[in-house]
């Protein structure tokens, strides 16, 4: 399925002479490139995607834009919960133990997600989909869950359902992926449970890694066209950076500004290039009930939204997909989760922000690559 210009919600706009500052919802990137192209795609993954590049590619511009659009379409068709025919939707509807053919993109995402699930001891867990749905944070409410069990305007989710789904069907490492003769497969775990006379098998949601993966793929396509000065941003918080072509930049770094987790204003900026970035926070998607904030990040161990001292986590590292998953995992684990950033994540940089009277941050960024205002308290990294 291709997206035609201004004929659907998933349209493409190409803008010449990119503006000096491109504002993002969680990140903003400052640049002073003499010229550039900004490709904007609406409603892939239920959000806005922006791909910007600052190298001349001559007659290959259309081929590049077509390749980017095709990749975004393929990934969206593979993992979106809003598309009934997507690999993830088909997996969720399949009976326990069934083997399904999937796309290469889905195979890559599930393989990476399983690895990060294991390394974060389950803090990042795509198998928490039932819990996400019960709390009303799924982009497309699943027909597998009776509506009366979900959160409503007048009540929190059914407690018995939360207890059941926080204790069962959460072993994401029991998913099996394989490939044979150029085809890719996933086998659904055989585990089932019965609750209120209805049988359930594992359900997954890869939204916590899919947008970062898409950003990585877009930047990889740019590289195929010999573009090095670029960035790809999917949604409000998933970013893959090339280098900055601006003569005024510091060693071709981008200046990436992070928004405050409370007032939305810029509060910290860092220098970054040739890496991925992601921010997760309790302010991006939440609801208030009886005076208490409930955010969209679910702790799989408790079955409930996180109750952490952290308000946001920003992660910079080798890939946007990995940063997506790690920022979520650190929000779940809290500051104690830093102990998991061992040899596997030696190249990862982080900014952890907590909020009391003032914003307090912990970071391992080199001090010459981060600008912290005097109003922010710096804790030991």
Question: Hey, what are 43's tokens?
Answer: 């409603």
The average pLDDT across 301-312 equals: 93
CB 73 within 8 A of CB 44: yes
pLDDT of residue 19: 36
pLDDT tens digits for 98-137? 999 999 999 999 999 999 999 999 999 999 999 999 999 9
Cα-trace Rg, the chain: 21
Strand 275-281 and strand 238-241: pairing? antiparallel
Please report where in the chains the tokens 């550039």 appear, as a residue. Answer: 36
Sorting pLDDT into bands at 50, 70 and 90, what band is 162?
very high
283: DSSP letter = T
* HSE-CB of 110 using CA atoms within 13 angstroms: 27
Q: What is the pLDDT of residues 77-103, one digit of tens each?
A: 999 999 999 999 999 999 999 999 999
Q: From CA 64, how far away is CA 221, in angstroms rounded? A: 8
Pairwise CA distance, residues 328 & 343, whole Å: 19
Confidence band of 28 (pLDDT split at 50, 70, 90): low
The overall average pLDDT reported for the chain is 89
Q: SS3 sequence, 223-281?
A: HHCCCCEEEEEECCCEEEECECCCCCCCCCCEEEEEECCCCCCEEEEEEECCEEEEEEE
Are residues 274 and 248 in contact, defined by beta-carbon separation less than 8 angstroms? no
**What's the CA dihedral at 193, 198, 204, 207 to 10 degrees?**
-140
Q: pLDDT value at position 8?
A: 32
pTM given for the model:
0.92
The predicted pLDDT at position 31 comes to 44
For the stretch 272-299, pLDDT in tens is 999 999 999 998 899 999 999 999 999 9
Distances from the Cα of 40 to the Cα of 156, 268, 274, angstroms: 37, 26, 21
Place of tokens 């982009």: 139
Which pLDDT does position 264 carry in this prediction? 67
Nearest 5 degrees, angle CA 231-CA 78-CA 240? 15
């Amino acid at each position: 399925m291709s997206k035609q210009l201004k004929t659907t919600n998933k349209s493409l706009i190409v803008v010449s002479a990119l503006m000096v500052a491109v504002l993002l919802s969680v990140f903003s990137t400052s640049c002073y490139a003499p010229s550039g192209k900004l490709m904007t795609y609406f409603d892939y993954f239920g959000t806005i995607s922006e791909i910007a590049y600052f190298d001349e590619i001559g007659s290959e511009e259309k081929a590049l834009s077509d390749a980017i659009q095709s990749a975004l379409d393929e990934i969206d068709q593979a993992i979106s919960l809003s598309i009934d025919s997507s690999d993830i939707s088909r997996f969720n509807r399949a009976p326990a133990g069934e083997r399904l053919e999937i796309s290469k993109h889905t195979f890559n995402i599930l393989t990476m997600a399983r690895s990060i699930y294991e390394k974060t001891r389950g803090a990042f867990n795509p198998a928490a989909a039932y819990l996400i749905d019960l709390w009303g944070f799924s982009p497309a409410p699943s027909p597998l869950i009776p509506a009366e069990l979900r959160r409503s305007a007048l009540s929190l989710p059914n407690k018995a359902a939360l207890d059941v789904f926080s204790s069962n069907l959460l072993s994401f490492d029991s998913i099996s992926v394989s490939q044979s003769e150029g085809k890719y497969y996933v086998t659904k775990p055989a585990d089932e449970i019965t609750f209120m006379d209805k049988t359930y098998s594992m359900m997954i949601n890869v939204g916590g890694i899919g947008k970062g993966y898409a950003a990585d793929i877009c930047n990889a396509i740019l590289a195929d066209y010999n573009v090095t000065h670029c960035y790809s941003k999917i949604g409000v918080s998933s970013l893959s950076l090339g280098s900055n072509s601006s003569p005024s930049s510091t060693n071709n770094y981008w200046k990436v500004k992070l928004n405050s987790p409370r007032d939305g204003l810029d509060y910290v900026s860092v220098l970054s290039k040739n890496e991925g970035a992601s921010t997760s926070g309790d302010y991006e998607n939440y609801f208030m009930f009886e005076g208490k904030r409930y955010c969209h990040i679910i702790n799989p161990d408790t079955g409930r939204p996180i109750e952490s001292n952290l308000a946001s986590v920003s992660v910079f590292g080798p890939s946007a997909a990995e940063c997506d998953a790690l920022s979520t995992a650190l929000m779940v684990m809290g500051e104690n989760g830093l102990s998991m950033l061992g040899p596997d994540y030696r190249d990862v940089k982080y900014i952890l922000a907590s909020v009391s009277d003032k914003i307090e941050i912990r970071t391992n960024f080199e001090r010459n690559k981060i600008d912290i205002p005097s109003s922010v308290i710096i804790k030991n990294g």
